Structure 1
Amino acid sequence: MSDLHPPARRDGARPRLRRALLAAAVVALLPGAAAADITIGLIVPATGSTAALGIPVKNTATLFPEEIGGEKVRLVVVDDASDPTTATTQARRLVTEEKVDVILGSVMTGAAIAVAGVARESEVPQLALSPIDLPAGKDNWTFRLPQNVTLMARAVVAHMKAAGVKTVGFIGFSDAWGDFWLRDLKALADDGGFRLVAEERYARADTSVAGQVLKVMAARPDVVLVGASGTAAALPQLALRERGFKGVIYQTHGAVTHDLIRIGGAAMEGAILASGPVMVAEQLPESSPVRAVALDYVTRYEAKFGANSRTQFGAHGWDAVQVLNRVVPAALKTARPGTREFRSALRDALESERDIPASQGVFNFTKDDHFGLDERGHVLLTIEKGQWKLLK
């Protein structure tokens, strides 16, 4: 009988337990009450023609924090194999299977453009690791971490103008990266006071540019701009120097890696490159708003991966963390991770948060500007005795 009719003091315990469980269930439904992982999808070219750019980002991901805004982070890293079609497939998988709250990537221009299409269709914020141009109205969910090509091109053209350059030859990739630089070089030619006298292209995987270089040299330009990225940017410069070109050779920020110096050797001496500040973090003035973040990243990264292993591309991945550190707490005020509302809140916070210091500049995204960097996001470098030297 005692099992069927427990003492009165135990009867009172059951209602209290039921009330406690009910209260816990209600609290779990309230914003901010339940723990939820923030799921970040990272798409990088870990293999293929652009792996030299993607691997530093993948390495940087090992430095990502375990929590942002007090919530645990779940990071899913996938390889796009330097292929836009694969990038699309991977982005769709991240959205449908992994239920990501935000996508980082890709580094390769064509792949990043492909991911932007998935981000727009799925309404998932994308922090692109390539400075991609998108048609008006097609970048509502895409925010770029690298510097706008136009911003960097203006810095290069200003240096040409100050040096009295009158004729320029161009040799660049026969893809979107080359297109962006050739477009801006043409658009800025009048302001720069020069004429574009040669225009040659090559594929990322090409092993020779002898024909293109001969055509450029036949035009006798004062200087040459190489519109390429990664180690493939060394190919035209090597060929130009081998054939006796004595003028200044300019390179883009896509080429600023220590591997460029390693592969190009003495032929790279004197090149002038637009770059993000992180590559010369130690040379930045104490007054620089990015110096502290840049030095922090360089210290962490090179302690793990070796001296002179830093790259701009890895730093863009680190800057994604700086941006998320600011916008995630703002989004958490109104929604929980894993929901459509949270993704929308992230996008809104990206457009409204101001003055986010990072290793490559200070971000101020707005509704009308999803690049977000200004003059604080670039420097000019040269290569002197196999080392980067800050020009300004």
Structure 2
Amino acid sequence: MVSTAAFLRRAFACAAFALVSAAHADLKVGIDLSSTGPAAVIGITSKNAIQMWPATIAGQKAQYIVLDDGTDPGKAVANIRKLIDEDHVDVIVGPNITPAALAALDPVAASQTPMITLIGSASVVEPQEGKRVWAFKMAQTDGAMADVMTRYMANHGVKTVAFIGFADSYGDSWLNEFKRFAELRHIRLVATERFNRNDASVTGQVLKLIAAKPDAVLVAGAGTPAALPQRTLVERGFKGPIYQTHGIATPEFIRLGGKEVEGTLFPTQPVVVARTLPADHPAKKAALAFVTAYEDKYGPGSVTQFAGDAAGVYPRLEDAVARALKKAQPGTVQFRVALREELEHAHELVVPNGVVNTSAKDHVGLDQRASVMGAIRGGKFVFISE
């Protein structure tokens, strides 16, 4: 197992770091984030973590070029085209949202530029063919999260579930994966509703969910918009357990949801519940090191899974860049091709949110060591055993 302790000490002790460093940096990293718009709570914490990256990658001077897509897939594609065509970056990091990442597949594949996304859905990397061979992903897949969630449901007597999810590819992916694992564990889906990220009310959908009399409700959303269905469920008198996805693990979700989100159950990754993880969890040391450094810089309780995902991009890049540099130099298509190939060869690489083992068929590389169950208790995210 590769230790990231040296990386963490070096990366998070850096006090002076510019998002865009010297104009003639050797290695160019183009970064597209949702720093504004509905997904800003995700993009801002990703950007915070990126600001903690060292100024070199595998000893190579790096230039980080960060653009905001405003949570707009069209703007994300425009940003990525600019980063590729005008800035001539060697790798893309981001986007934060699934629709943007899917739309970005065309420009990254056409230019042969590897992309390390920060989304939850596996749809950008599965199946590994065509344009998707240029995409990688930091966050655990929806399937792995649905697996741990439905296992917890089955262990706690849940037989029927009502679903309400985003009316986009994030909601689609979660609905499909949840159905697959729910069927495996004999959990019946009794109602399905959808909502938009910018909706002001979901009362109609919630009343239909409650009318189905489910044992539990699953809200498949991300960031603060996911609080709306839960608050409405509680206000309308639903008394059963409410599950959310790994997309809600931000302090803003707890602040916005207030007492209505207390008791929420959700699958997550090590960073979010680092302090309450079992001592023998393989990522606990790296997760705690990152959480401590991040909260020293940005304040107690400020860390998110999305920050952890962005932090993990750096060791993924350092690991792959070190080998790619033996084949070609940055700024060339040969280097981009070599970097894509080397990103497929991470082996037992510990990052804050898990342990990575990639291959030509697996561009995520995370196993169940990156999937745990969490809950909101006392206004905090905590680890819970299955």
Matched residue, 2:297:
304
Contact kept, 8 Å, 2:38 with 2:225, in 1: the verdict is no
TM-score by length of 1: 0.89
TM-superposed CA distance for 1:287, in Å, is 2.2
The one-letter code matched in structure 1 to 2:64 is L
TM-superposed CA distance for 1:296, in Å, is 1.8
Matched residue, 1:147:
140
Point out which structure has higher relative CO (alpha carbons under 8 A, 6+ apart): 2
TM-superposed CA distance for 1:92, in Å, is 0.7
Matched residue, 2:178:
185
Quick check: 260-269 or 140-149, which moved more? 260-269
The one-letter code matched in structure 2 to 1:104 is V
TM-superposed CA distance for 1:36, in Å, is 6.0
Among 154, 170, 183, the residue aligned to 2:163: 170
Q: Provide, for residues 316-355 of structure 1, a one-character-per-residue CA deviation record: whole Å limited to 9, x for no partner.
A: 1100001012111111111111111111111111112311
Contact kept, 8 Å, 1:36 with 1:337, in 2: the verdict is no
Is the aligned partner of 1:278 residue 2:267?
Answer: no
Contact kept, 8 Å, 1:105 with 1:115, in 2: the verdict is no
Matched residue, 1:209:
202
Quick check: 281-290 or 144-153, which moved more? 281-290
Among 52, 55, 62, the residue aligned to 2:51: 62
Contact kept, 8 Å, 2:120 with 2:247, in 1: the verdict is no
Counterpart Cα distance in 2 of 1:128 and 1:188: 25
TM-superposed CA distance for 1:179, in Å, is 0.6
Q: Which runs of 4+ in 1 moved over 4 A?
A: none
The one-letter code matched in structure 2 to 1:116 is L
Is the aligned partner of 1:102 residue 2:95?
Answer: no
Identity %: 43
Among 332, 336, 343, the residue aligned to 1:339: 332
In angstroms, what is the RMSD of aligned CA positions? Answer: 1.3
Q: How does 1:65-80 map onto structure 2 within 5 Å?
A: 65-80=54-69
Among 63, 67, 73, the residue aligned to 1:84: 73
TM-superposed CA distance for 1:271, in Å, is 1.1
Matched residue, 1:13:
none
Among 116, 133, 142, the residue aligned to 2:105: 116
Counterpart Cα distance in 2 of 1:36 and 1:304: 26
Counterpart Cα distance in 2 of 1:260 and 1:48: 15
Contact kept, 8 Å, 2:215 with 2:240, in 1: the verdict is yes
Contact kept, 8 Å, 2:120 with 2:142, in 1: the verdict is yes
Contact kept, 8 Å, 1:275 with 1:380, in 2: the verdict is yes
Stretches of structure 2 lacking an aligned partner (at least 5 in a row): 1-23
Is the aligned partner of 1:199 residue 2:188?
Answer: no
TM-superposed CA distance for 1:90, in Å, is 0.6
Counterpart Cα distance in 1 of 2:280 and 2:114: 33
TM-superposed CA distance for 1:147, in Å, is 0.6
Stretches of structure 1 lacking an aligned partner (at least 5 in a row): 1-34
Q: Provide, for residues 167-188 of structure 1, a one-character-per-residue CA deviation record: whole Å limited to 9, x for no partner.
A: 1100111011111111112222
> What is the total number of aligned residue pairs between the two structures?
358
Counterpart Cα distance in 2 of 1:70 and 1:258: 35
TM-score by length of 2: 0.90
Counterpart Cα distance in 1 of 2:67 and 2:109: 19
Secondary structure of residue in 2 paired with 1:388: strand
